[in-house]
Structures are given as C-alpha cells and as structure tokens.
Amino acid sequence: MIHPPTTDPARVLAAELPGRIGASVELAGWLHRRRALKSVTFLVLRDRSGLAQVVAPAGAADLPEETVLRVRGTVTANPQAPNGVELTGPEVEVLARPTAAPPFDLFRPAVPASLPVVLDGAPVTLRHPRLAALHRVSAASVHGFRAALDGLGFTEIHTPKVVSSATESGANVFALDWFGREAYLAQSPQFFKQAMVGVFERVYETGPVFRAEPHDTARHLAQYTSLDAELGFVTDHRDVMAVVRAALAGMVEAVADRAGDALATLGVEPPAVPAEIPQLHFAEAMRMLGADEPDLAPAHERWLGAWAQREHGSPFLFVTGYPMRKRPFYTHPEPGRPEYSNSFDLLFRGLELVTGGQRLHRYEEYLAALAVRGESAGPYEGYLRAFAHGMPPHGGFALGLERWTARLAGEENVRRTALFPRDVNRLTP
C-alpha cells in the first residue's frame, strides 16, 4: 500500500553535463533546434537548466522543433560544443510531438516578433529563453523582497481581492456580481495592510491588484502584482524609505544569486542599490525643473532620474513631500508645511516604481481628512474601525513587480513582464 516515488533518478539536467563526462545519462526536454552540418546533425535539447547538444542518431534528424524528448547517451567532451560537452551514442524517445509550429523560431537569440504576436501566443512564445528569463528575474525578485522583509520581522498576509466599496479611489474599479450584490475588485490591499499593523506591526503581501485603467499605455496593466508592505512604530516616512531600500537590496541580491543565468541571457547587470538612496523634496524638484505643478509628469521623472544618476551615481531617487492634494486622504501631512506630505515616490531609472509614505494613525484625523475632502465616513466604516482601537504611527509602500522587472531588463512595455497580461483590450490567453 505504500509505494516509493517514481521520479526517475537517472535524469540529469543540461547544466549538470560538464561534471558528468564519461557517464551514461538521461536528459529530457524540448528539441530547441536541429543543426544539420555536412556530416552530422545535432539536436539541441532545452530543459529548465539550459541547452545541451546531442549528436543525432539516424532517424531523429527530422524531428520538428518543440518535440518533447527523452535522450539517453554518453557525456562526451567536445570543446566546440556549448559548455564543452555533448551527448553521443544516444537513444532518443519521443514523449510528445507538436501538432503546430510556434509563431516564430524559439531558438533565435532575439525575439523576432511583435508584442501582440508574443502575447497572443504566450503559452508557447514564453518558451523563448529571453522571454522566460524575464519571468525568472521576477520570481527571484519576489523571493528577495520576501526574504528582506522576513529578516526585518514582517509577517506575510493574504487579504480579500473582492471588497464592498470602491474605497481607494472612486474611479477605475471593476464591478462584479457577488451573490447578487455589487462588489469590486480590490485596487490595493491598502486598508487591510494598515489594519494588520495593529496585529503584526509589520506586514507584507505579494499579490494581484486590479485597476480598470482605460488607457492603453506601456506602463499600465489592469492586473498587476503588487509588492506591498506596511509597518508600525515609525517616526515618519523616512523609516518606510529605509525599508524600501532594504527590500530593493534584497531583490537585487536574490536576482544575482538565483537568476544569474537569466541576467546573462538578457545581457543585463543588476543595479547597485546605494547604501543611502538620494532623496529630493518635491518643492526642491520643482525648483530644479523650473516648474510649478502639483505632480511630476513622466518627462519630469525622466529628468530627475538622469540627474540622480549624474549627480549621485544612483539609478534610484526618492522624491519626497508630494503635495497633499495629489495624495490619498490617508496620507500624513508634513509637520510645519501641511500643504506637503510625508510621502514619497521612488524613481528607478526615471520611472515611478514605488509609492509610499506615512499614514494618518488617529481616528479623529481620519474623520477630519474625509470631511476636508467632502467625503462621508460611511463607506469607510470597516476601514476606520482599526483606528478607533489604537494604531501606532505607521506607513508603507507598494512596488509594482512588472515595472521593476521591465525597468531592470530594459523592456519598454510592462506587458513583456506579465506572463499573461490583462488590459483594456486583452483578456486572453
């Protein structure tokens, strides 16, 4: 009645071959490419670790790319082969045959297709090593985010994605039918993570958020993965910024440690996170820009990003103190200059990557802030409840995973860094 697991212990990965010269091994994977030379045909096999060259036996030289294979053979040194090894004398077993060809050759070093072709065919196009590498970087980044915050005493939480009122901002919400009642997809875990500061002091969540963004831009998705954190017992927003810095450092470290091959495939170096990320107050930024506006335009962000790189050698820049009227009602004002706020954005290479700040923490402050904006406290009742029961000074931030990976890899469009992006036009695959 008790059976041992049947995972084949004989299978080795392509990346393990250089250490197994002379051994008889079993590989499994996809036929990435056939390379027919004058006297021999090579099968290049792709598995999760990389590529391996196999000397094709008779009869296997006309298999189509993406055939799923198991190959048994001898690991043989060959200085001309990738990694200096190839599999010789192989037996090839076909595990599955493709019934259609991919929309483009998956073995070309660059991706020879437009973005819609890539996205429409995601179940197969993501097999392209360059496209897959983007998502390996994302996976490593999330690991690093969690590891950094775990090390700082944070607790992971899982909050509702369906809420009864569109509280974060009235616009851009998706409505749904919840057993006959109108409900909404959560635009952020904001209120939940704040309430959970009252329970765990320091919390994070890595999950989907939803914005019914009607504009089809290169930097917006209707669903994205938000890396959210919130912490209590802060002095002000600068304590939150210190945690942002730690999270970024953890993400970069994890990408280098766990996705080094993916970085090499993409040809990118992870950025250095300065021990102190430079920061600039919004008022000072406006002065430098010779502008007088309540928010930063994308062109402003690009200029400031270039300035931080030039003056501080930093790809990251905190802009602090955004005007209160452009920040959500729960934002804590700047002591002594209440038209400004204890908030910040982090620009990464001139693009907003993180938004955060100190929040109000007293119940009466919330009631006053809502009254100033002419909003009723009614829809916020559940939210406000945490503050009625004693909340410490706190703050937090949110980082968009797809933007992070896109910026890191030099991808212009965040649709490249979501596996199956969702936007105003795209609901499949």
Query: Among 105, 207, 268, 271, which residue sits at the site for its own copies (rule: CB under 8 A)?
Result: 207
**Interface residue with its own copies, options 33, 74, 88, 98 (CB under 8 A):** 98
Closest to its own copies by CB, 78 or 258: 258
Contacts (CB under 8 A) with its own copies, residues 336-375: 361-364
In the Cβ-directed half-sphere of 186, how many Cα atoms lie within 13 Å? 17
In whole angstroms, how close is the CB of 76 to its own copies at the nearest point? 23
CA distance 291 to 282: 11
Determine, following the binding rule CB under 8 A, whether residue 278 of this chain makes contact with its own copies: yes
Between 30 and 42, CB nearer to its own copies: 30
**Min separation Cβ 370 and its own copies, Å:** 15
Shortest CB 202 distance to its own copies, Å: 7
Binding residue (CB under 8 A) for its own copies from 280, 370, 398, 399:
280
Helix (H, G, I), strand (E, B) or coil at 301: helix
> b/e per residue, 268-302, with b = 16+ CB within 10 A?
bebbebbeebbbbbbbebbeebeeeeeebeeebbe
Q: Is 40 or 272 the residue whose CB approaches its own copies more closely? A: 272
Q: Does 99 bind its own copies (CB under 8 A)?
A: yes
> CB under 8 A: which stretch of 111-119, 275-283, 297-305, 321-329 binds its own copies?
275-283
* Choices 89-97, 297-305, 325-333, 408-416 (CB under 8 A): range interacting with its own copies: 89-97
Q: How many C-beta neighbours within 10 Å does residue 53 have?
A: 24
Helix axes 129-151, 401-409, angle to 10 degrees: 120
Q: Among 18, 84, 123, 298, which residue sits at the site for its own copies (rule: CB under 8 A)? A: 123
Q: Which stretch binds its own copies (CB under 8 A): 221-229, 290-298, 299-307, 327-335?
A: 221-229
Residues 6+ apart with CB under 8 A from 75: 17, 20, 21, 22, 23, 24, 25, 85, 86, 87
Query: Whose Cβ is closer to its own copies: residue 47's or residue 86's?
Result: 47
Of the residues 23, 36, 96, 377, which one makes contact with its own copies according to CB under 8 A: 96
With binding defined as CB under 8 A, does residue 198 bind its own copies?
yes
Q: CA torsion sign, 350 to 356 to 358 to 359?
A: positive
- Does 192 bind its own copies (CB under 8 A)? Our answer is yes
The single residue among 20, 108, 158, 337 that binds its own copies, judged by CB under 8 A, is: 158
Structure tokens at 80: 């001309």
Instruction: With CA atoms as reference, report the closest residue to 34 among 3, 8, 79, 67.
Output: 67
Single out the segment in contact with its own copies by CB under 8 A; choices: 36-44, 232-240, 265-273, 369-377.
Answer: 232-240
Provide the angle, in degrees to the nearest 10, between the axes of the packed helices 237-258 and 129-151: 130
DSSP string covering 130-148: HHHHHHHHHHHHHHHHHHH
Tally the C-alpha atoms within 13 A of residue 192's C-alpha that lie toward its C-beta.
17
Q: Which of residues 391-410 bind its own copies (CB under 8 A)?
A: 391-393, 401
Nearer to its own copies (CB atom), residue 40 or residue 169:
169
Which of 52, 60, 142, 346 binds its own copies (CB under 8 A)? It is 142
CA 343 to chain centre: 23
Cβ atoms of 429 and 122 within 8 Å: the answer is yes
* Stretch of residues binding its own copies (CB under 8 A), selected from 33-41, 191-199, 323-331, 343-351: 191-199
Report residue 323 as tokens: 């005007």
- Residue of 210, 282, 307, 329 interacting with its own copies (CB under 8 A): 210
- Interface of this chain with its own copies, residues 303 to 332, rule: CB under 8 A: 312
Asked if residue 39 binds its own copies (CB under 8 A), the reply is: no
Q: Provide the Cα torsion 318, 145, 226, 266; round to 10°.
A: 90
CA distances from 318 to 287, 321, 360, 383 (A): 16, 10, 21, 29
The whole-angstrom separation of Cα 294 and Cα 282 is 9
Looking at the Cβ atoms of 163 and 252, the one nearer to its own copies is 163
